[in-house]
């Protein structure tokens, strides 16, 4: 049985200027460069530069060469275009080769497994694929975006030690967020949306997630849910994609409902009260007053402070459910607050729901 032959792409590491073809043509016409200069109206110096590839063949020059040599202007234009394209490829390859070490810091294997990047055996092509994933043209551009000193995420130890996985998770969130249509951001609408979303804590994920996303998008906030990446111990992040669109990025780290909901309202606090210039990372650190304020906002939004004394003295499942019913919130969130206040981390755990990722099925 005949097998299809594997196709190989020829990608030379050199570029031939169209001036070389021009030399061959005038030789075949028994024409000197000086005569060509007279016939085309181009200076000898210009023709010399064209021969060396130092001066491009413009559309006007191509038209003159067509009249002089009988070879179509389209061919001269194509030769020029191919030459410039190949030059650009060579320069890009040289730059990429000098940036290969950076590729080692990026979790390319994990990104390929998630289906967001295509596997490439050749390192140069893999580097190019990685730059496409980040939406940048060079490693230098990546550093300008992800290593910018002003970014609040830089305060996270994870971002300092593992910028590749950290930036990859944020980028995955951005890509999903860009696909979510949002109204222009409205602080009042988002504040109302936050209050409405609190009422959703009693519902199951397949119900509350679509509703959350709709409420957020109507207020100018894209809610991205991206599985956590290795070496990135974050619960959530907030980033402004533009002056009129914000992103809340969450995962299921810890997988418990109280952690998920606290993370959402924590990030919502950043959107409502903090600057649009920074990226905010919820990594559990308490050395930034903005993170402390976001924690306070989340805690107070979920369960008012005056309820904490009642929660501390809970002794039964029925008591947990009673308080949850009164303040219209999931019992699991009440348990989470009880455990936080009393440090009794195992008590009432069976009242907390555990979330998990569900594979998307194409219909």
pLDDT tens column, 194-246? 999 999 999 999 999 999 999 999 999 999 999 998 888 888 999 999 999 99
**Nearest Cα to Cα of residue 274 among 108, 140, 153:** 153
pLDDT number for residue 81? 94
Higher pLDDT: 158 or 354? It is 354
Calculate the CA 19 to chain-centre distance. Answer: 43
Q: Which residues contact 152 (CB under 8 A, 6 or more apart)?
A: 278, 279, 280, 281, 288, 290
Burial degree of 265 (CB within 10 A; 0-12, 13-18, 19+): buried
Contact between residue 255 and residue 354 where contact means Cβ atoms under 8 Å apart: yes
Helix axes of 257-273 and 289-302: crossing angle, nearest 10 degrees? 120
Q: What is the CA radius of gyration of the chain?
A: 30
Q: Average per-residue pLDDT in the chain?
A: 89
If pLDDT is split at 50, 70 and 90, which confidence band does 92 have?
A: confident
Helices and strands of the chain, counted as H and E runs: 18, 4
Residue with tokens 């959107």: 271
CATH number of 18-98: 1.10.260.40
Q: Determine which of 20-29, 42-51, 149-158 has the lowest per-residue pLDDT on average.
A: 149-158
Residue 60 predicted with pLDDT over 80: yes
Q: Is the pTM of this model over 0.75?
A: yes
Distances 250 to 125, 182, 263, 362 between C-alpha atoms, Å:
31, 18, 7, 23
Which residue(s) pair with 238 in the sheet?
248, 280
- What is the structure's pLDDT at 104? 92
Query: Domain spans of the chain?
Result: 18-98, 100-146, 151-299, 303-356
**What angle, 0 to 180 degrees and rounded to 10, lies between the N-to-C axes of helices 18-28 and 44-52?**
120
The per-residue pLDDT for range 123-164, each reduced to its tens digit, is 989 999 999 999 999 999 998 888 764 444 444 566 666 889
CA gap 340, 342 in Å, rounded: 6
Q: Which residues contact 139 (CB under 8 A, 6 or more apart)?
A: 99, 102, 131
Output the pLDDT for position 159: 65
> Do 298 and 171 meet the contact criterion of CB atoms below 8 Å apart?
no
pLDDT tens for each residue of 321-333 = 999 999 999 999 9
Place of tokens 């989340």: 298
Mean pLDDT along residues 49-78:
94
């Amino acid at each position: 049985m005949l097998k299809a032959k594997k196709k190989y792409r020829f990608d030379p590491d050199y570029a031939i200027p169209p001036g070389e073809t021009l030399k061959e043509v005038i030789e075949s016409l028994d024409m000197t460069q000086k005569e060509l200069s007279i016939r085309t109206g181009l200076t000898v110096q210009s023709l010399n530069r064209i021969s060396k590839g130092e001066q491009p063949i413009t559309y006007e020059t191509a038209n003159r060469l067509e009249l002089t040599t009988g070879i179509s202007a389209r061919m001269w234009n194509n030769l020029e275009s191919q030459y410039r394209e190949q030059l650009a490829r060579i320069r890009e390859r040289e730059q990429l080769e000098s940036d290969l070490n950076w590729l080692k810091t990026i979790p390319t294997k994990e990104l390929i497994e998630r289906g967001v990047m295509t596997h490439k055996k050749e390192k140069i092509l893999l580097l190019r694929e990685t730059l496409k994933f980040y939406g940048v043209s060079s490693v230098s551009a990546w550093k300008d975006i992800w290593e910018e000193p002003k970014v609040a995420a830089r305060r996270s130890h994870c971002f300092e030690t593992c910028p590749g996985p950290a930036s990859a998770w944020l980028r995955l969130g951005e890509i999903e967020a860009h696909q979510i249509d949002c109204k222009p951001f409205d602080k009042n609408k988002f504040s109302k949306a936050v209050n409405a979303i609190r009422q959703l804590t009693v519902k199951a994920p397949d119900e509350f997630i679509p509703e959350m996303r709709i409420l957020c998008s109507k207020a100018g906030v894209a809610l991205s849910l991206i599985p956590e990446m290795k070496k990135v111990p974050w619960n959530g992040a907030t980033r402004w994609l533009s002056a009129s669109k914000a992103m809340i990025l969450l995962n299921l780290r810890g997988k418990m409902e109280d952690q998920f909901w606290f993370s959402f309202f924590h990030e919502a606090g950043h959107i409502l009260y903090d600057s649009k210039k920074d990226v905010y990372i919820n990594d559990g650190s308490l050395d930034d007053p903005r993170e402390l304020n976001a924690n306070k906002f989340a805690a107070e939004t979920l369960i008012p402070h005056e309820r904490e004394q009642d929660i501390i003295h809970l002794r039964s499942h029925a008591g947990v459910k009673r308080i949850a019913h009164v303040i219209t919130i999931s019992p699991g969130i009440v348990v989470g607050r009880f455990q936080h206040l009393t440090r009794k981390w195992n008590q009432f755990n069976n009242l907390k729901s555990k979330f998990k990722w569900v594979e998307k099925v194409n219909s």
